[in-house]
Structure 1
Amino acid sequence: MSMNLTRITGMYSGFDTDQLVKDLIKAESIKVDKIKQDKIYTEWQQEAYRDIINEIRAFKDEYFSYTKPETNFRSTSSFVGYEANMKDESNNYYLDVGVTSASVTGNYTITDITLSESAIKQGNNTFLLGNSDLDKTLEELGYVDGVEFTIEATNAAGETKSDTIALTKDKKLRDVLSEVNSRDLDVEMYYDEIKNSVIIKTDDTGSTASLSNIKDTGGAGDLIADLGLVIDKGIDAPITGVDAKVKITDDSGASKEVSSSNNSVTVNGVTLDLKQNLTGGNIEFSVSSNADGIVDNIKGFVNKYNELIEKINTELTEKKYRDFKPLTEDQKKELTEDEVKKWEEKAKSGLLKNDSILGSMLRNMRSILYDSVDGMALYDIGITTSSDYKDKGKLIIDEEKLKKAIQDKPNQVANLFSKEDEGLANKLYDVIEDNISTRTDSYGRKGLLLEKAGIEGDRTAEDNLLSDKIKGYEDRITELLQDLNDKENYYYTMFAKMEKALAKMNSQSSFFMGQM
């Protein structure tokens, strides 16, 4: 019978071999526990960084995103200090009224609306018998040599385009329409069943859009002439579109006719999107100040800013309990659940205390808010920094002063936040992007906080300094555990050899005793 003596305990020696081995490798076990604690602490730090990153992202998404124009402080869209009200809401059938930061308040009356139109050439022939002719081949329609014709048109931008269309006799009349529509001519050719005519019209509207030359080339059948669509550049005047026109009268009784190549016109900073012609009667609307809406927007911005810097300041100044290390699994087993919770509260305190990245970001944000833009600063509109040192840079608002500034100087208030490059919101956005941008710069780097701790949903989730550090701890733990296992096996082997030797000695002693 064979026996594996590798881990025979004190059968002959009477030693507690397990305890002896445990004591012998205790120093090495402590090393493993220390690195496990460092790993856990680094994981906690990473979680704390990511919580802050998410708070910053939420602030950025709410107040610096073009997907939210009503609260995007980088754009003047958040500072439109006016609202338009239609006297009779049913008149929305004729037009929509939009306001901008340049709108002039007052009462307005619309008396005439003419919608813009395309340049249109309608066939005046009796050639077509009906819709069924569209599916006849050109040969069936009498064009045994096919057709060839030119179209020349000008779009609203004044760009003239010309092309020649040539189709063989086996093509259908419907193919002629499709071919024209596929060319880069900015025109549409279609059959109107009610009018029983083929029509060509420009895609663009307005007086600059025109059809100036439509005719057969003479190389094949005279389809264009037969359809009554000829415009001879040398003989006929071009057919032009029609500009949109609207007549508007203000409080003083002054009137103006405003025109546009499309159905949107702007006057006194008010945008009128025209929808139907108006030839009789009138439409009344007013433009008034909406300072309360902007005040509410700025209050929301300030509140979120204060919440963010309070969160960052808390992390930077939270007390650190250096004697409270992360608990090992063995240590947790010796404590109650409540004791573990209280211990870890202290162990997790001060994870980001005096963090240089967060500290620098906070200083830069606070510094920006002291800047002025075109001679106006936050204190000019009733926003100042709290004098209570405990608030650590929080902003406070004098609502009456803010409202008056918006009413008196709406454009300057808008510029203070949204002016390109110089506006406070754009500068704050740049600081935030320096720290949490997911875009890679010319050096291959992303935001500082993402490079440090990463964020889910981005390649930095795994590729960041703290994840690399955690991976290093994991590798070191694996190495130490392997060394620990090797030493443990070594000691058990040595004790087993000792037990084996003692067994042999006992056997020999028993033999000699038996000879006496």
Structure 2
Amino acid sequence: MSDSVSSMPTGATGAGGGSMLRITGLNTGLDVDSIVKKMLKGDQAKLDKVKQSQQLIQWRQDAYKTIISDIQDLQKSFFDVSDSADYLLNQDNYSNMNAVSDAAGLVSATAQTGAAAGTYKISVADVAKNAVIGGSSSLNSQVKITDISSWGGSGKSISFGIEGVANPVTLDLSGFTGTTGASLVSYINQKIAADPSLTGKMSTSYVEDGSNKYIKFTPLDNDSNIGIVNDTANGHPTNITDMDGLVNKQLVSASTSTKLTDLGSGLDGKIALNLNYNGKEVSVQVDNSSSGKNGSATVGDLITAISSATGGAVTGKFDDTTGNFTLQTTATGSISSLKIEDYLSTHGQAGDTSSETTPGLLGALGMPADALGKSYQGSDAEVTVTGIDGHSTTMTESSNSFTVNGINYNVIGKTTDPVSISVTSDTTKIYDKISNFIDKYNKVMDEIQTKLTEKSDNDYPPLTDAKKSAMNSDDIKNYEAKAKQGILRNDEDLTNLMYSLRSAFSNVVQDGNGNSAASVAFGQYGTNAIGIDLSNDPEQPNKLVIADSSKLRDAIANHGDQVLKLFAGTYNSALNNRYNIAGNDLSAWKGAGKTINLQSSSGNVAIDMSGFTSDSLNDLETYINNKINATSLKGMASVSTSVDASGTKHIKFTTSSDISMSATGISDLPTSSTKMLSDKDAEFNQSGIFSRVKGIFEDNVGTLGTSLNNATLTKFANYQDDFSLYGGIGSTLPDQIYQKQQQIKDLTDQMTNDEKKYYDQFTRLEVVMQQLNSQQSALSMYTSG
């Protein structure tokens, strides 16, 4: 007899569920563990097969994620709108001209495609300005220095009244002999530092605003009020003329965080500031009453309210340096105007203060005394531009940014001498951008094409746990590299992606009439070809090649605007299937014999217009849509109407499938059958090549910056749609993995149950053998006795 000791198999390939110590074969002499293991081979084979299937799915998922990541890298490199320099749809990147200013601090410039090379000159007599209502007095405690010598000398002093201090504190300035504002501030701060009553409670600083020089007094202790006083009782008057405006006033250091109530009285209720900007009137409201901000409204709150009420057309600004509060229009030029209105004279009723600009607000903000009701105007830029032919033109511009003869000028300041703008041809910049894209694009296409075409080797199925345990890490790595081959062979989604991208390059970029939108074309053959083509190598059908670099450089140099249309042209959905209504007159749409004929795979529909009698554009839209919705085309077609800025009326047909349209008796519509493209099809046809590529990338991996979305590849690789949520069978890779995990669990449970069943059977055999052995032993004893 022999005994054997073993533990229940655990882990990935065993029946799992923990360990159990069994002692078997004591009576039978059988190697039960070995026998049971052989009996479980069928279970183990089923389990290994499902695990191998799961491994293949996981490898597919990993391969998908790698491809998605690589496409996302292309998006980041070439389709990130925030990176204007590399964004392939940025029209400025297709300019074949380069402009350099010899005084970029005064005038900068860029050249559009088509601008003539040469040297341009520009003189700026004045820049365009906003309409501005500037504060006439500072909200800070600061005074203008008119005569620095008047601050020092015999008897000169400044007295301060301090809350909690019985007598005013005087600073003696008789010893000041400096000649600059900086030296004055230094002298006063030294005096403050030497006086315990003032130390830590205030300081002074020097401010220059253009030619104006100021000294600013700043309180430092918010818990102690401090002000400038005339201490005549003790013979210490504040007797510096420049200081007269601050005598008997509390020191204030204003900021956007300063409460409005700290700037003036009467500002603790509902505050109104009525503005008229560019002829448009609006009332800026800040509720500082007990039901609103309860007195806590700040200068910053008012600034925010001004921007919100005017849609950003007017801004409030507080200058920390000067302490001035200003209002100004965002737009520049003489067409810009700004006025603070009382509203009573034009909008309110006598005695009605609900619509009145809050009394005391303008004074608290330091606005000019005559600001109420006064109109402030912006002003135009006045420039003289001299072309490469020497001809000079003087003009006014409402903006400091404008374009003349293909040169975009940005005026920053006045000039004393003309600024030279040198414009030269630069084809290399565009060529390099396109070439760089092709290089990186081809690497991704080669990767995908390899995955689509490589064959799997049936001799290398995924390793079982048992086989893997017998191999070293290098052998496993080399084996799995071969096992992963072919996992994406002929993948449907990737095949569709490649087909769409080929179409993006090979299909003609069209205008709204179905004709070529550009005079240059993708390809290497023909007089208008740009020299870029798809590879004729059948093993690399998506590879882009610059077959003729001279054609590409020539197109960039001489037809830059057409290269722009070819690569970066954009689709205008508003123009798709849109028709003008001649003379804005709907009579052509009314009466007997007038029909709109729609043909589709669902059948032909004739919309009878004889019942339409209105002159309303909205009624026309409703009438036709009701007619369509009563036919088999319901949900497949609709119309909308609009009026553009010029007052022209339009009707637009929108379809979700291929539908052709013609009209009888309606001159605004085509009389012969005309195919109406869906917006999606029209967008593809009328978009430039790179616009198409961007859209295809987004359809497959999502918009830039998103990770989980419904894009085709991303959803298939990352979304667990059905299994964990609803218990159904989904088709995404996570769904498939989950399904395999469930199968593995079920098979593992079954294997555990079978193992227990087999051991139970052998245990019963042991009992029987034990009984038999006992009987034999007894019989032997009986017969031997």
The TM-score with structure 1 as length reference comes to: 0.81
- Inter-partner Cα distance in structure 2 for 1:37 and 1:6: 30
Query: How far off is 1:413 after superposition?
Result: 0.2
Conservation of the 8 A alpha-carbon contact between 2:121 and 2:418? yes
Q: Deviations over 1:7-54 (max 9, x none)?
A: 442222121111111111111111111111111111111111111111
- Inter-partner Cα distance in structure 1 for 2:41 and 2:449: 42
Distance 1:323 1:275, change over 3 A: same
Distance 1:288 1:310, change over 3 A: same
Give the alignment of 1:250-265 within 5 angstroms.
Answer: 250-265=387-402
| Structure 1 stretch displaced more, 94-103 or 472-481 | 94-103
Q: Deviations over 1:215-240 (max 9, x none)?
A: 6979897897997532675xx7x331
- Inter-partner Cα distance in structure 1 for 2:499 and 2:566: 20
Classify the secondary structure of the residue corresponding to 2:781: helix
Classify the secondary structure of the residue corresponding to 2:76: helix
Distance 1:282 1:438, change over 3 A: closer
Where does residue 534 of structure 2 map in the other structure? Answer: 385
Where does residue 455 of structure 2 map in the other structure? Answer: 319
1:270 aligns with 2:407: yes
1:40 aligns with 2:161: no
Where does residue 111 of structure 1 map in the other structure? Answer: 123
Q: Deviations over 1:296-336 (max 9, x none)?
A: 11111111222222111111111211232111121123345
Query: How far off is 1:151 after superposition?
Result: 4.9
Classify the secondary structure of the residue corresponding to 2:393: strand
Distance 1:253 1:27, change over 3 A: same
**Structure 2 residue corresponding to 1:92, chosen from 97, 104, 107:** 104
Classify the secondary structure of the residue corresponding to 2:417: coil
Classify the secondary structure of the residue corresponding to 2:77: helix
- Inter-partner Cα distance in structure 2 for 1:300 and 1:139: 61
Where does residue 429 of structure 1 map in the other structure? Answer: 694
**Structure 2 residue corresponding to 1:412, chosen from 562, 572, 580:** 562
Where does residue 284 of structure 1 map in the other structure? Answer: 420
- Inter-partner Cα distance in structure 2 for 1:42 and 1:475: 14
Where does residue 476 of structure 2 map in the other structure? Answer: 340
**Structure 1 residue corresponding to 2:82, chosen from 58, 63, 67:** 67
Query: How far off is 1:161 after superposition?
Result: 3.7
Where does residue 544 of structure 2 map in the other structure? Answer: 395
- Inter-partner Cα distance in structure 2 for 1:24 and 1:227: 98
Where does residue 491 of structure 2 map in the other structure? Answer: 355
Conservation of the 8 A alpha-carbon contact between 2:119 and 2:422? yes
Distance 1:123 1:305, change over 3 A: closer
**Structure 2 residue corresponding to 1:241, chosen from 363, 378, 398:** 378
Where does residue 171 of structure 1 map in the other structure? Answer: none
**Structure 2 residue corresponding to 1:206, chosen from 319, 333, 345:** 333
- Inter-partner Cα distance in structure 2 for 1:75 and 1:112: 29
Conservation of the 8 A alpha-carbon contact between 2:127 and 2:380? yes
Give the alignment of 1:119-198 within 5 angstroms.
Answer: 119-120=131-132, 129-130=245-246, 132=249, 151-155=274-278, 158-161=279-282, 181=303, 182-183=305-306, 184=309, 186=314, 188=316
- Inter-partner Cα distance in structure 2 for 1:167 and 1:215: 20
What is the one-letter code of the residue matched to 1:407?
A
Conservation of the 8 A alpha-carbon contact between 2:260 and 2:299? no
Query: How far off is 1:503 after superposition?
Result: 1.0
Distance 1:270 1:19, change over 3 A: same
Conservation of the 8 A alpha-carbon contact between 1:418 and 1:424? yes
- Inter-partner Cα distance in structure 2 for 1:175 and 1:338: 71
- Inter-partner Cα distance in structure 1 for 2:562 and 2:264: 69
Query: How far off is 1:212 after superposition?
Result: 4.3
Conservation of the 8 A alpha-carbon contact between 1:6 and 1:492? no
Conservation of the 8 A alpha-carbon contact between 2:504 and 2:689? yes
Distance 1:337 1:167, change over 3 A: closer
Query: How far off is 1:464 after superposition?
Result: 7.2
- Inter-partner Cα distance in structure 1 for 2:543 and 2:39: 57
Query: How far off is 1:124 after superposition?
Result: 7.7
- Inter-partner Cα distance in structure 1 for 2:53 and 2:271: 82
Classify the secondary structure of the residue corresponding to 1:492: helix
Query: How far off is 1:367 after superposition?
Result: 2.1
**Structure 1 residue corresponding to 2:369, chosen from 215, 229, 234:** 229
Classify the secondary structure of the residue corresponding to 1:257: strand
1:507 aligns with 2:767: no
- Inter-partner Cα distance in structure 2 for 1:486 and 1:139: 83
Distance 1:7 1:312, change over 3 A: same
Conservation of the 8 A alpha-carbon contact between 2:719 and 2:734? no
Classify the secondary structure of the residue corresponding to 1:230: coil
- Inter-partner Cα distance in structure 1 for 2:59 and 2:104: 57
- RMSD across aligned positions (CA): 4.3
- Inter-partner Cα distance in structure 1 for 2:406 and 2:470: 74
Distance 1:23 1:211, change over 3 A: closer
Conservation of the 8 A alpha-carbon contact between 2:264 and 2:361? no
Conservation of the 8 A alpha-carbon contact between 1:386 and 1:394? yes
Query: How far off is 1:97 after superposition?
Result: 1.6
Give the alignment of 1:43-58 within 5 angstroms.
Answer: 43-58=58-73
Q: Deviations over 1:101-160 (max 9, x none)?
A: 35443311112241222334568899x9249478699999999xx9999754324xx534
- Inter-partner Cα distance in structure 2 for 1:123 and 1:438: 47
Conservation of the 8 A alpha-carbon contact between 1:450 and 1:464? no
Where does residue 478 of structure 1 map in the other structure? Answer: 745
- Inter-partner Cα distance in structure 2 for 1:427 and 1:405: 21
Q: Deviations over 1:170-193 (max 9, x none)?
A: xxxx99977875444636487999
Conservation of the 8 A alpha-carbon contact between 1:63 and 1:301? yes
- Inter-partner Cα distance in structure 2 for 1:93 and 1:104: 24
- Inter-partner Cα distance in structure 1 for 2:21 and 2:298: 94
Classify the secondary structure of the residue corresponding to 2:245: coil
Query: How far off is 1:513 after superposition?
Result: 2.4
Distance 1:160 1:248, change over 3 A: farther
Where does residue 715 of structure 2 map in the other structure? Answer: 451
Conservation of the 8 A alpha-carbon contact between 1:153 and 1:209? no
Conservation of the 8 A alpha-carbon contact between 1:259 and 1:265? no
What is the one-letter code of the residue matched to 1:476?
Q
Classify the secondary structure of the residue corresponding to 2:382: strand
Classify the secondary structure of the residue corresponding to 2:737: helix
Q: Which has the higher contact order (CA 8 A, sep 6+)?
A: 1
Where does residue 45 of structure 2 map in the other structure? Answer: 30
What is the one-letter code of the residue matched to 2:700?
N
Where does residue 27 of structure 2 map in the other structure? Answer: 12
What is the one-letter code of the residue matched to 1:129?
G
- Inter-partner Cα distance in structure 2 for 1:416 and 1:260: 33
What is the one-letter code of the residue matched to 1:58?
D
Classify the secondary structure of the residue corresponding to 2:506: coil
Classify the secondary structure of the residue corresponding to 1:239: strand
- Inter-partner Cα distance in structure 1 for 2:381 and 2:420: 19
Where does residue 163 of structure 2 map in the other structure? Answer: none
Query: How far off is 1:350 after superposition?
Result: 0.7
| Structure 1 stretch displaced more, 181-190 or 20-29 | 181-190
What is the one-letter code of the residue matched to 1:501?
V
Distance 1:307 1:137, change over 3 A: closer
Conservation of the 8 A alpha-carbon contact between 1:317 and 1:353? yes
Classify the secondary structure of the residue corresponding to 2:385: strand
1:495 aligns with 2:762: yes
Query: How far off is 1:6 after superposition?
Result: 9.5
